[in-house]
Amino acid sequence: MVKIQSDVTVELVKHSASDSDVLWAARVSTAGEQSLEEVHKDPQRSKGLINFLMRDRHGSPFEHNSMTFFISAPIFVFREFHRHRVWSYNEESGRYRELQPVFYVPGKDRKLIQEGRPGKYEFADGTDEQHALVERAMTESYRQSYAAYQEMLEAGIAREVARAVLPVGLFSSMYATCNARALMHFLSLRTKDDRATVPSFPQREIEMVAEKMEAYWAELMPLTHEAFNGNGRIAP
C-alpha cells in the first residue's frame, strides 16, 4: 500500500538564465543603454568580468535571470528549503488533495551514524543490521500512519484534519523559482564541497536536491558556475 523511495527528483521546468545576462547587467555601470548589445556577445570573452564580480562580491548582476525547478522530496527537506526566503514557492496542498502514500527510506549509500558536535557533524556508514532496522521501522510506521489517514478520510473527516497523522518522511512536490545569486547562497549552505572556503554541514537529503539543481545551473551558466567554484563557493 505504501511506496518507498530513496531518491529525490529535480526537474528544471523553465529558465531564462545565461552568463551574458550577468554581463549586460554589470556593463550598464559604464556603458549605459549600450550595455544591451552585450546580450548577443560571446560571454567567453568576458570571463574576467564575471570572475571580478564574483571575487569582489558585486552580487546584483547575478540577479537578472530566472530558473524554475519542480522538486519532489520528503517534507523534512521542504521544511529546510523554505527557510530560504528570497525564493518563490508553490507546494501541493494537503487540504485540497488526498496525499499519496510515497515515503522516504534512506538508500544503502546514505550514512547513518552521526559523530562529532552540533554544527560540525560527520557521518559514518551504518551496518547492514542498522539499515535493515531503519527500513523496517520506517516502513511499519508509514503503513500505520497512512492507514489511519485513510480510515479518517473514509469516515468523512476533512483532509486538512486527517493529514495530522502523516510523518515528515512523506513526499511532497513544489515549484521553486530563484535567480543565480539566490541559488549560489543556497548551494553555499546546502552542499558540502572541498572548494568552499566557509564549509557547511547540510543534511544529506537537501544536499541531494542541491546537487541536482547545481548540475542544471552549471549547464546554463558555465562561466558563473566556474567563478563561483574558483572563489570559494561564496555567494556574491
Q: Does 2 bind ligand FAD (CB under 6 A)?
A: no
Smallest distance, Å, CB 61 to ligand FAD? 17
Q: Pairing between strand 3-5 and 102-104?
A: parallel
- For 22-31, letters b (16+ CB in 10 Å) and e give bbbbbbeeee
Q: How many CB atoms lie within 10 A of CB 8?
A: 20
In the complex, which residue's CB is closest to ligand FAD?
A: 85
Is residue 190 flagged as an active site residue?
yes
Among 1, 30, 40, 85, binds ligand FAD (CB under 6 A): 85
Q: How many residues bind ligand FAD (CB under 6 A)?
A: 9
d(C-alpha 55, C-alpha 58), whole Å: 8
Please say which residue, 88 or 130, places its beta carbon nearer to ligand FAD. Answer: 88
Which backbone phi and psi does 36 adopt, to 5 degrees?
-60, -25
68 bridge partner residues:
14, 177
d(C-alpha 155, C-alpha 152), whole Å: 5
Which one is catalytic: 159, 190, 204, 233? 190
Q: Does 83 bind ligand FAD (CB under 6 A)?
A: yes
Q: Interface residues with ligand FAD (CB under 6 A)?
A: 83-86, 185, 189, 200-202
- Per the annotation, binding residues are 60, 80-85, 91-95, 163, 179-181, 185, 190
Catalytic residues, by residue number, are 190
